[in-house]
Amino acid sequence: MVLKDENQDKFRNDLIHYLELKFQDELNSKEYLVAAVLNVGYIKHWYKRSFGSKHYQSGLDSIYDILMKYSPNEKEFEESHGKLTKTDKVISNASQTTSEGLNSMRNLTRPRINSNTDDLSKQTKSKILADETKKFIDIISSSEFESTKSFWIDRQSALPNLYNLALRLLSIPATSAQIERYFSITGQINNKTTNSMSPELLETRSLIKANIKFIE
């Protein structure tokens, strides 16, 4: 079937509309939107198109929130990043001269000095994640990348928190096909002659059969 020119735009818009309705749960999920953006090897195929640009921007806007949601708590965060103290704050802003170093102490207001350790940790974590988010957005806005895997391997030191988030989110199955295949394999094993098999043995045999290509 060949559509007339005047009907092609309507057909395209209707198709996009119904696809968005079908996948509205995913498109309204910050996790899915951020996962799509972190999959940097593929965003070049869709992020500039009319149907993709708004979802791309939503994904960028959601990165910080998802980082905060899935990052370790303040104590674990300090252990992996090193604890930032009030003295570190002065040193990091101070330059070589004494006068400039003293001027940098203006950053330490009295409420900041009197704040408790938890507040300081939360502020530190928030700033690190915000800076890392900005760095990532600057990187992907200036270049296109062919391989998601190579991108994250090369930048796991520069973007450690986003690297861990990418590992987590990009592990989400894109379809249920693999799960359905697993149910099929389990059904083949659990037949009339093996219906007295224990759940543990059934699980073990199913896992082996599903992953036999990696064992051989």
pLDDT digits (tens, 9 = 90+) for 142-153: 888 989 999 999
* Closest among 119, 120, 118 to 86, alpha carbons compared: 120
Q: Which of 169, 185, 200 is the last residue of a domain?
A: 169
Q: Indicate whether 162 and 181 sit together in one domain.
A: no
Q: Indicate whether 147 and 199 sit together in one domain.
A: no
Is the Cβ–Cβ distance between 208 and 201 less than 8 Å? no
pTM of this prediction?
A: 0.59
Collapsing DSSP states into helix, strand and coil, what is residue 143?
coil
Asked if residue 139 is part of any domain, the answer here is: yes
Q: Indicate whether 73 and 27 sit together in one domain.
A: yes
Domain interval for residue 43: 8-169
Q: How far apart are CA 130 and CA 83, in angstroms?
A: 17
Q: How many structural domains is the chain composed of?
A: 2
Q: Indicate whether 62 and 94 sit together in one domain.
A: yes
Q: What is the pLDDT of residue 17?
A: 79
Asked if residue 94 is part of any domain, the answer here is: yes
Q: Indicate whether 72 and 110 sit together in one domain.
A: yes
What is the per-residue pLDDT across 58-112, written as a single tens digit (0 to 9) for each? 999 999 999 999 887 656 666 666 544 434 433 333 344 434 443 433 343 333 3
Asked if residue 2 is part of any domain, the answer here is: no
Q: Indicate whether 187 and 121 sit together in one domain.
A: no
Q: What is the pLDDT of residue 9?
A: 76
Asked if residue 3 is part of any domain, the answer here is: no
Q: Indicate whether 76 and 35 sit together in one domain.
A: yes
Asked if residue 1 is part of any domain, the answer here is: no
Asked if residue 116 is part of any domain, the answer here is: yes
Is the Cβ–Cβ distance between 125 and 74 less than 8 Å? yes
Indicate the range of 23-27, 82-86, 200-204, 206-210 predicted with least confidence.
Answer: 82-86
